[in-house]
Amino acid sequence: MPSINRKKLADSVIEEIKRMIERGELSPGDKLPNQNEFAAQLGVSRTVLREALQTLDQLGVIDQRPKYGTVIRAKTPFLYSEHLIPPLMSDNNATIELIQARRFIEVGAAEMAAKNASKAQVKEMGILVDEMERMREAGDDGEYTEKNIAFHFLIAKASHNRFMLHLLATIRGFMEQWTQESISVLPGLLDRSLKFHRGIYEAIRDGEPRKAASSMRKHIADFQKSLEKFYKKAGREN
């Protein structure tokens, strides 16, 4: 099993397990090595491995059986798209389409999360928002982006709907890429983003589905408005 020579991300582990299944190294019914051994083989920490396995379990790719281990369930983990190679911000149609997709997926996910999120998931959301605020104050845009994406993905998990999680998983890489690219060109984006994230979290914490959906809708609309201004200004300058 090859080592992953990439940034510490659970997505890297997910992609590697996908490749192992596609290459026939893992088949339905196969048991994965114990977490210590598997993490060492993949070159990641147990924390990263556990996060990846949790996502794969919720998506039905694997089955984590107490006192037995982790077993491959799906023949092909078709739930993950590849990252776009060209910059998203250079393609105004792609960015607008991504935001439109996010609106349809994430507004519903927030509404469902306000109904179905566990206490542990709500607590984790609050921790992520606090960490995002610290990263923003420290000027650490890279860490902010990671916490941002983790927050949105946690909302999809908290909906407790596997298909909702599937939909967000297919565009997660694009979301991360767009966020990283947009930070330097959309003035005030992170400050507004933080405010919206806290509002979404509080609505989910308080069990208010309509407010959660409305807060997420406003958050996505702010993205689109900022982008439209950016492209309009770029068009005038060209």
Interval 87-112: pLDDT, tens = 455 667 778 888 888 999 999 999 99
Is the distance from CB of 174 to CB of 83 less than 8 angstroms?
yes
pLDDT in tens, 108-142: 999 999 999 999 999 999 999 999 999 988 888 88
Residue 101 placed within a domain: yes
Domain that holds residue 219: 88-237
pLDDT at 232 over 90: no
User: How far apart (Å, rounded) are the C-alpha atoms in residues 159 and 157?
Assistant: 5
pLDDT at residue number 46: 87
* CATH code, 50: 1.10.10.10
pLDDT in tens, 34-80: 999 999 998 888 888 888 888 787 677 888 888 888 998 865 444 44
Sequence-distant (≥ 6) Cβ neighbours of residue 36 within 8 angstroms: 46
* CATH code, 103: 1.20.120.530
pLDDT at residue number 234: 67
User: How far apart (Å, rounded) are the C-alpha atoms in residues 81 and 14?
Assistant: 11
Same domain, 201 and 141: yes
User: How far apart (Å, rounded) are the C-alpha atoms in residues 56 and 63?
Assistant: 8
Spatial CA neighbour of 209 closest among 103, 107, 58: 107
Same domain, 162 and 186: yes
pLDDT at residue number 19: 82
Number of domains in the chain: 2
pLDDT at 179 over 60: yes
User: How far apart (Å, rounded) are the C-alpha atoms in residues 79 and 56?
Assistant: 10
Residue 177 placed within a domain: yes
Residue 118 placed within a domain: yes
Q: What is the mean pLDDT of residues 192-198?
A: 93
pLDDT at 218 over 90: yes
Local confidence band at 210 (pLDDT 50, 70, 90 cut-offs)? very high
Residue 121 placed within a domain: yes
Residue 1 placed within a domain: no
